[in-house]
Amino acid sequence: MRKSLQLVCLTALLLGAIRANAATHEAIPEGMARIPSGIYRPLFRSVTDPAEVRVNEFCLDTLLVTKGDFLEFVRTNPRWQRSQVKRIFADENYLRDWAGDLELGTNANPNQPVVFVSWFAAKAFAQWKGKRLPTTAEWELVAAASSTRADGENDPAFQQDILRWYSTPAAKELPVVGKSAANLWGIHDLHGLVWEWVADFNSAAVTGDVRNDTGLERQLFCGAGSVGAKDVRNFPAFMRYGFRSSLKANYCVHNLGFRCAKDL
Q: Which 188-247 positions form the footprint of another protein (CB under 8 A)?
A: 191-192, 200-203, 205-207, 213-218, 220-223, 225-226, 233, 235, 238-239, 241-243, 245-247
Beta-carbon count within 10 A of 121 CB: 26
End-to-end CA distance of the chain: 26
In whole angstroms, the minimum distance from the beta carbon of 48 to another protein comes to: 5
Give the residue with the Cβ less far from another protein, 70 or 89: 89
- Nearest 5 degrees, angle CA 139-CA 143-CA 145? 135
Among 37, 39, 166, 230, binds another protein (CB under 8 A): 166
Site membership for another protein, residue 159 (CB under 8 A): yes
Among 93, 109, 111, 127, binds another protein (CB under 8 A): 93
Which residues, in sequence order, are bridge partners of residue 44? 229
- Conformational region of residue 170, where left means phi above 0, alpha means psi within -120 to 50, and beta covers everything else: beta
Beta-carbon count within 10 A of 137 CB: 23
74 Cβ contact partners less than 8 Å away, ≥ 6 residues apart: 80, 81, 82, 95, 101, 102
In whole angstroms, the minimum distance from the beta carbon of 188 to another protein comes to: 11
Taking the C-alpha atoms of residue 156 and residue 146, their distance in angstroms, rounded to an integer, is 11
- Identify the CA nearest to 196 among candidates 259, 109, 141: 259
Site membership for another protein, residue 89 (CB under 8 A): yes
Which residues, in sequence order, are bridge partners of residue 37? none
- Within 3-22, the residues that bind another protein by CB under 8 A are 5-6, 9-10, 12-14
Give the residue with the Cβ less far from another protein, 75 or 165: 165
Give the residue with the Cβ less far from another protein, 39 or 166: 166
Give the residue with the Cβ less far from another protein, 49 or 101: 49
Give the residue with the Cβ less far from another protein, 65 or 190: 190
Residue 40-79 contact track with another protein, rule CB under 8 A, x = bound: ------x-xxx--x--------------------------
Taking the C-alpha atoms of residue 254 and residue 126, their distance in angstroms, rounded to an integer, is 20
Site membership for another protein, residue 98 (CB under 8 A): no
Give the residue with the Cβ less far from another protein, 32 or 190: 190
Site membership for another protein, residue 109 (CB under 8 A): no
Taking the C-alpha atoms of residue 246 and residue 228, their distance in angstroms, rounded to an integer, is 19
